[in-house]
Structures are given as structure tokens and as C-alpha cells.
Amino acid sequence: MPHPIALFPWRTFTLVGTTCLLISCGGSPPTAETAPAEISEPAATTTARTNAEVAPAEVAPAAPEPTTAPVQAAPPATATPPATAVALELGESRLLTPAELGWVERNLPVAERQINSEQSFWVNLRDIGEVAFVLTEAVSDPSIAVNDLAIYLMLPDGTLLEQLPANLDSNSWRLGETRAVSFLIYQCYEVVVVMADYITGVGPNGSEPFPVTTIYNNAGGYFLMDEVASRMLTDWGTSTVGEALDMLQTEDLGYLP
């Protein structure tokens, strides 16, 4: 259940720039790499003999017909993700392709979780570069812990860079549905907004969903949760990304453009 609004000292950030809400785009399928062709040896040159009869050239016996072994398909790569046709600009994002989702599943060191393919992205982040932003949810099972939303950043070589901090205010609630993930670029830093519906699971209104907003700031190669902004946006009942942007840019929160 949302917490009452806590009073926090007024904070001022001097930020100049525009806010960009990035639109995902599809990726291109992986392209097979063609092995380089072998270079044949140059043919030997024949020099004419002077004042002598040239012996007829010997005919080499015909080489036996080569036998071709059946070609076996290479195993799927488990380190680097499938190649993409166009590199992303800083702050740009797009949904993970089916091939990339398979690559994530083979490399992400988590069990009994499912990837939310509609809220997982390939994104170019400041001080980090291109990474997979993977939002996962626990398999539907009442025995699993109630805080069942986890977000991971995975590097192109398959290394887990970071698991983003969980919103501890939601520990006593159950996740209903992830509404949206947005990457917002300001002049001095990056912000990630995650919006999801939760239920309390208790009382007469226990099955009624309510929105929970979590704000993450890029702290120079890793992300920290802004607990103050996250709690205030949740207490205010913010339910859309547009509302979150308006609230973040008030004097109470200080994310001024």
C-alpha cells in the first residue's frame, strides 16, 4: 500500500537540456560470416630451351574425386549477442530481438525467472555503452517471494554488469503487471523510469492493483535508485510516464530541465 508523503528538503539541480523519450525499433537478423577464400598458388612459368629439343610435358594422373563430409551446423553462440545492423546512438533503445532474447536466456545467471520480452531492451547508456536491459519476473507461484521484479544489465560478452536495486517499498506487495520502462536523457545524467502495478493481496481491496513508480539514476557506469522520488511518485498515484515526467520536474523533486 502506498506510503504517506514524507517531507524532504528542497533540492536543486542545475540541469540544462531536453528530455528525450526513446522509441524502440526492431533489429536485423544475424548474418553468417563467410570464410575468406583461399588464394591459389601461381602457375609455374615455362622457359623455352634454346638449341635443344623440348621434351613433351608429362601428364599428371588425375586426382581422385574429393569426398565432401556433411556440413554440421555450428552451435549457437553463448557469449557475444547476434550482430545488429545499426549501432545505437547514446540514449537510444530498442526491444531485444528473439535471437537476443535466446542469447540472454543462455547467459543470464538466474533460475525460475521469466524475461518480460515487452520490457527488455538493447540500449546505449552513458559511461557504459551498449548493453541488454533485461526485466525479469518470477514465475507465477504463490510460494515465491513477493518482491518478484528484478532488472539486470548484461554486457555484449555475456557478463552480468549489474542487478539494479530493488524497490524495497514493494517487498510486501505482489507484482501484477509492468506498465512501462522509459530511458530519459538529461544534459548531465540519465534516468530510467520503471512503472508497474502491484496488489497487496490482503483485505477487501487486496486484489485491486495500484501503480508503483521506481526511479533509477545513472551514477557513472552503474545505477542507483532515487528512493525519495520513487516514494513520492508512488504516493501521488502516478500512473503514466508523462505524469512521472511532470512530477520529476517540479521543485519538490528537482529534476529541472
Domain assignment of residue 233, yes or no? yes
- pTM (2 decimals)? 0.66
Answer yes or no: is pLDDT of 205 > 70.
yes
> What interhelical angle do 241-248 and 227-235 show, nearest 10?
120
Domain assignment of residue 120, yes or no? yes
Q: Quick: pLDDT tens for 136-194.
A: 998 766 565 555 789 999 999 999 999 999 998 888 888 888 999 999 886 676 899 99
Domain assignment of residue 150, yes or no? yes
Q: How many Å apart are CA 75 and CA 160, to the nearest integer?
A: 22
What per-residue confidence (pLDDT) applies to 172? 82
What per-residue confidence (pLDDT) applies to 171? 82
Q: In terms of residue numbers, what domain contains 129?
A: 93-248
Answer yes or no: is pLDDT of 23 > 60.
no
pLDDT band at 235 (very low <50, low <70, confident <90, very high): very high
Domain assignment of residue 127, yes or no? yes
What per-residue confidence (pLDDT) applies to 200? 85
Domain assignment of residue 236, yes or no? yes
Q: How many Å apart are CA 131 and CA 143, to the nearest integer?
A: 32
Pairing of strands 210-218, 174-185: unpaired
What per-residue confidence (pLDDT) applies to 204? 84
Answer yes or no: is pLDDT of 245 > 60.
yes
